[in-house]
Chains A and B, each alone.
Chain A
Amino acid sequence: MSPLATHRLDPQPGELLDRSRPLSFTFEGNPYTGFAGDSIASALAAAGVRVFSRSFKYHRPRGILTASHLDPGCTVQVGDEPNVRAAARGLAEGMAVHAQNAWPSLRLDVRAANGVVGRFLTAGFYYKTFMAPQRLWPAYERVLGTFAPGGRMSGAVDTLAEYDQRYAHPDVVVAGGGPAGMGAALAAAQAGAEVMLVEQEHELGGHLRWGGPAELVLLQDLRAAVAAAPGIEVLLDSVVVGRFDGNWLSIVQRDLPHVEERLIKARAAALVVAPGLVERPYVFAGNDLPGVMLGTAVRRLINLYAVRPGTQAVVLTANPEGDAGVADLQRAGVEVAAVLDARRGEDLRRALGRGGVTGVETADGRRVACDTVVTSIGWTAPTSLLNMAGDRPWYDPSAARFRPSDDLPEGVLAAGGISGDGTVEELVEHGRSVGAAAAAGHGAAGRPAALPVRAHPERFRASTHGIVDYSEDVSSKDIIAAAAEGYDSSELVKRYTTATMGPSQGKLETVNTVAVLAEATGRPIADLGTTVWRPPYAPISLGALAGRVHEPVRHSPMQPWHEAHGAAQLIAGAWIRPDHYGDPQAEARGVREAVGIIDVTPLGKLDLRGPDVPKLLNLVYVNKWSKLAEGSVRYGVMCAEDGVVMDDGVTGRLGSERYLMSTTSSGAATVWEHLENWLQTEHPDWQVHVTPLTTYYASINVAGPRSRELLARVTEGIDLSPEAFPYMRVRTGRIAGVDECLMWRIGFTGELSYELHVPASYGLQAWEALLSVGADLGCAAFGVEAQRILRLEKGHLIVGQDTDGLTRAYDAALGPMVKLDKDDFVGRPELFWQEQLGEQTRLVALQPVDGTIVPAEASQIVRRNAIVGRITSSRMSPTLGRSVCLGYVEVGLAEPGTVVTVLLPDGRRIAAAVQPQLAHVDPEGERLRA
């Protein structure tokens, strides 16, 4: 325990502490106590802790600067959670808090040696030093990485469950719960609007909370009115992090009972931006020493947390809030050794000390001993949300700050301190008029005028140089150096020095950066302007963004059976499918030797009706469809307009004007949109109606030499004899007691097989019936993996597996399908030219000479060191007892018998022979047509 544990004051009127609830926690392994209501930082400050972290680049000791969310020196590790803002996070029992960037210890940071050679770490140092030679960058990166800021994560991934998402449609969102924000919410709610009042801190009130007795009375009245008002939803410990087109807002909410954070996506009719003002640090030598604080930090520590910020203070003040800080310090028993009034031209020169402040040197050369230096030198309007809405702030020298413009975009309003200055009553009143306008949906015309500003000294830097960006360790010298090197605009200096790129995203740093740049370039601040603020407004966790996923999951009606029978699940797009039931090789053998059934429900199925269906089929498929007889099915290939293979499947004619198109499982949605596109935009005169039936039917493929025998036992009203129901035909009938089932005789697996489409609600019944009546035939379920083995043995390609975004029909050995004598079809011109010029590569079947080796998919086929092809599919074939592949080779290597070299991922090179045809098994198709 620190010997200075006497910094806790007697109870203060506005304090947040519950002194009946002491909390124990540790910092750097040492035990501390605080109270419920403390922030981590306030509890440590009460115990006399002054150094919280080491700075990013120079590893200088850092303490409390703002005592708010923005505090750059108060980022800590809490247990497994990195980058916790200690001045904002509420203290909890048992927290294990550690400093970040302080290896090996906070007290002795060996990397602080950087500070000694600091002149080498000036602006652009990394760019200049580590970029060449480029081959050394990986080595540089490794070394620099150990110096990089940030905490540690365990890498556990189960925390995603702790994040939530919500959609909201409020009329008015008020960003900021200070006097103006509360006034705006109240007025909007009175006008009947549904209001979301979002406050970043743990309670409403803003700066009223550290005001005097009159402010505290007003605070209680406003809070009571907000609590009583119908239609105001108050979100505390929450922040509007982004504003996008159409007032689409992202809000991150914390302080929830069951989840860490919730991302709210809100579409608001009006956004009222009321964040108040952020106090701006002052640039002078030693301005980052522990003990140098802003006036608001001192007022927060004393009034909210009953913490005495130090024992002896020197104050530099330029405004009434700074004067109030002096009064607070005196009330808290701090000896105010000197007050320097910037309005009278008084100034600091530097803060003295090494690990913390020991005194100051004033502009007129006096030295004053103290352990605390307080500056109240000006304000920054955090206009980020307004900038995200397209507004560009303008510099008002009389107020010494940038201000929102007068013509904010429609639906976006600014209230309170961001707009101008006023008494607390005037701020509330401004909020009320803005809130009323927001609820009334006033455009620019009905918008209340901005508040006037009071005169404020324009002071940014003392005669010495100091830190401008505390998070990034950028000094005013760096900015001047950057300007001298030609980086003389706000945006360039930001990128070159990284000033304003830290966690507070410029709210503390931007205006000082611009002011120093103005000094260096001799241009006015107004001409330079600020950098553009983009989302997020405040740092947010990746968990909040990843959050809960609202994507639906699809599974077939047979899923309960699959689960009960130990199916390994395969996630295929939105679908969950059985990959296998334990032994895919045995499942494949069962199909070749007897009969198996597979759940192919995800297969896309589109009902096409109307007199012009053949025209549509002729347009979207590369082959011909005019003469498809009723009861017949045909395999078709679709290409896109660039000739690239897009999808394949069979389409059957069920009636004179009724067809059923099947697509690949993954292409179901795409093909449907594709058909609608052609019908709606190019051929609205064609009479075709497309209805997706993918989930209307449960689909089962029955495959194997005994499949006819099996189906004979469950089928009524369909003659299954090979003469009556040959290959590539479709029939409708009753299967397993279910009427209006479809049965196609097709064969992706290369076996005699039938694809059944059963109304979905009867899918499980049909599935179980097939297994039950086929038990003595050896009927068993097989999964996607066995189907992939079987189709690869047969040499049937899978679009997307054996084709990619550059594979045109001739590459994929689909040339014979392409009917260039059709006047038009999608992709025809490209395929016509490809046919004329000849393809560069071709899909072939390959067998490794050593049949025990299964080359990994995507293995390269090489000639010496040149890539001349690739393996797209490979498996061990249970039928042949050897490995089999499909792959692409340059056409010169496509001759059957050519032996090519396959480069395995482990670097080995093996030989593989090109096969005479794509099918490894039953190239004549006798099994298929049995």
Chain B
Amino acid sequence: MFQIPCPHCGLRNVAEFRHAGERRPRPDPRTATPEQWRSYLYTYDNHADWTRETWYHRLGCRRYIGVERHTVTNEIRPVS
């Protein structure tokens, strides 16, 4: 189980967090086409590389935090 350095609580087990997914902008709901909206909902880049993600520290500070994680090694670095 890898660990995530929470900016508020320090280094904690990943089990304390909920993975809230890749960080992606929400399309404008008034103008988005179904293709754009469903791409936002369902299509993930899922790179085997560094990804920008949101994690929710549900058993800690209860803040949503931005994290950069390498999906192969689970290395974590602060969002640049």
Contact = CB atoms under 8 A, between A and B. Distances in A.
Interface of A: 244-246, 248, 267, 641-642, 673, 676-677, 680-682, 823-824, 828-830, 833
Interface string B21-58: 00000100110101001001100000000000010101
Contacts of A244: 1
B32 to A, nearest CB: 6
B41 A673 contact: no
Nearest to B11: A246
For the complex of A and B, 9 pairs with smallest distance between CB atoms: A245-B2, A248-B1, A680-B64, A829-B37, A824-B29, A246-B2, A828-B29, A829-B29, A245-B74
A671 to B, nearest CB: 13
A642 B64 CA distance: 21
Nearest to B36: A829
A412 B23 CA distance: 33
A676 B62 contact: yes
Contact of A676 (B37, B40, B41, B64): B64
A641 B54 contact: no
Nearest to A248: B1
A833 B29 contact: no
B63 to A, nearest CB: 6
Contacts of A677: 20, 56, 64
Given A641-B40, A680-B64, 8 more contacts: A245-B1, A245-B2, A245-B3, A641-B41, A673-B18, A676-B64, A680-B63, A829-B37
Contacts of A828: 29
A830 B13 CA distance: 36
Interface of B: 1-3, 13, 18, 20, 26, 29-30, 32, 34, 37, 40-41, 54, 56, 58, 62-64, 74
B74 A823 contact: no
A246 B3 contact: yes
A823 B41 contact: no
A91 to B, nearest CB: 38
Contacts of B64: 676-677, 680-681
Contact of B30 (A246, A641, A680, A824): A824
Contacts of A676: 56, 62-64
Max chain A C-beta neighbours (<10 A), residue from B29, B54, B56, B58: B29
B34 to A, nearest CB: 6
A394 B26 CA distance: 48
Contacts of A641: 40-41
18 contacts: A244-B1, A245-B2, A245-B74, A248-B1, A248-B13, A267-B13, A641-B40, A641-B41, A673-B56, A676-B62, A676-B64, A677-B20, A824-B29, A824-B30, A828-B29, A829-B32, A829-B34, A833-B34
A806 to B, nearest CB: 13
Contacts of B29: 823-824, 828-829
A374 to B, nearest CB: 44
B41 A642 contact: yes
Nearest to B23: A681
Contacts of B37: 829-830
A824 B37 CA distance: 13
A850 to B, nearest CB: 44
B2 A682 contact: no
Contacts of B20: 677
Contacts of A267: 13
Contacts of B32: 829
Contacts of A248: 1-2, 13
B55 to A, nearest CB: 11
Nearest to B3: A246
A267 B13 CA distance: 9
A673 B30 CA distance: 25
Nearest to A690: B62
A828 B29 CA distance: 7
Contacts of A833: 34
A248 B12 CA distance: 12
Given A244-B1, A246-B1, A682 B26 contact: yes
Max chain B C-beta neighbours (<10 A), residue from A244, A245, A676, A829: A829
A711 to B, nearest CB: 36
